[in-house]
Structure 1
Amino acid sequence: MRIPAGTSDLATIDAVPANAGGSTGDGEESLRLLSLVERTLTARLEEALRGVGSSLDQWRILRLLAERGGAPMNVVADHVLLLAPKLSKLVDRMVSANLVLRRRDVEDRRRVLIVVSARGRRALAEWDEVTADVRGQFRDLLGADAEQFEALLRRLQDGLDPAAVEALEQPAG
């Protein structure tokens, strides 16, 4: 440790936080950094989407529905991390804007699926385009480690809440 000029050894040691080395050993710094990265990426994505009249939640909903071919509300809620009342209002607005449609599930007539409309697919293409720079920066920063990072995040999520991950990964049916 380098001691600043004019400072005693004890004063320097007392002034240095216990975790000055970067990690407390219990993952506290990792959790803080993970939160900081999530907030930064979220803010950048929201800014890009706001410029084209969208929100991060709308983009995430359309992205999920396009990938899955549709999904029930509970799966959408889990994916976009919204409570049912807020999601219902957002989906109602998206239905009114003709971005998504509600369809009865052919396998379970009691269940309603949310699917992307043709207009929603066009909007999603535009929204993907405006978020491409942010997503590209993320991939560029991680480089060859991007896949490993995603695998580690999935492993962490699986360990924290395996039921939620299973629900998200079930094919639309």
Structure 2
Amino acid sequence: MSEPAEHVRPSGDESLRLLCAVGRTLDQELDEALRGCGSDVDQWRVLGLLAARGGCTMSVVAEHALLLAPRATKLVDRMTAANLVHRRPDVVDRRRVLVVATERGRAALAEWDAAAAGVLDRYRHLLGSDAALFDDVLRRLQDATGRAGVPGLAGLATEG
């Protein structure tokens, strides 16, 4: 007798499910670690981008933080009120507004990066000698999907 249809799944489907499940778990663990420092994943992503790039438009911030524009705007508004970022005119194109990290934001980011590093260390430990290979596979997937995030940040995750 054959297996019920619900148990017969192509391995690709299972790989996609596992990738999504691990991503969701990682987001939850990262968010929990950052909340212990008074932050969340979205704020950490935004400040990390701004510290690396200096200043970015809202569209770049939204893309990098994986947020829709209205949610990114609300997040930046909250971060501005907390003096983590501020908006300023672009010196090249005065019509554009850039979001820039404040000194307080940079100080907070240092603490948040330490919390995030703890989560990353746990995953690197679980992967053991495969950690570098896994990083490479993730980068190739990201590049191949055309959703590599913000141009010019490739390799930033391994700097430090």
**How does the TM-score come out when normalised to structure 1?**
0.78
**1:151 aligned to 2:136?**
yes
2:81 corresponds to: 96
Alpha-carbon distance, 1:54 to partner: 1.1
The alpha carbon displacement at 1:154 in A equals 2.7
- Give the count of matched residue pairs: 152
Report the Cα offset of residue 152 of structure 1. 2.1
Q: CA RMSD in A?
A: 2.0
Which residue is equivalent to 2:3?
Answer: 14
Amino acid at match of 1:14: E
Give unpaired runs (5+ residues) of structure 2: 154-160
> Residue 170 and residue 104 in structure 1: after superposition, are their counterparts in 2 closer, same or farther (change >3 A)?
farther
Match of 2:109 among 121, 124, 128: 124
Distance 2:89 2:101 in 1: 14
Overall identity of the aligned pairs, in %: 56
Report runs of 4+ in structure 1 exceeding 4 Å deviation.
Answer: none
Whose Rg is larger? 1
Matched AA of 1:38: G
Aligned equivalent of 1:28: 13
Aligned to 1:5: none
Which stretch of the first structure deviates more once superposed, 47-56 or 147-156?
147-156
Counterpart mapping for 1:9-88 below 5 A: 10=1, 13-14=2-3, 17-19=7-9, 24-25=10-11, 27-88=12-73
Q: Distance in 2 between matches of 1:169 and 1:144?
A: 29
Structure 2 length as normaliser, TM-score? 0.84
The superposition leaves residues 100-135 of structure 1 with CA deviations (integer Å, 9 ceiling, x where unpaired) of 111211222221111110000111111112222111
| Structure 2 residue corresponding to 1:169, chosen from 139, 145, 151 | 151
Shift of the alpha carbon at 1:15? 5.4
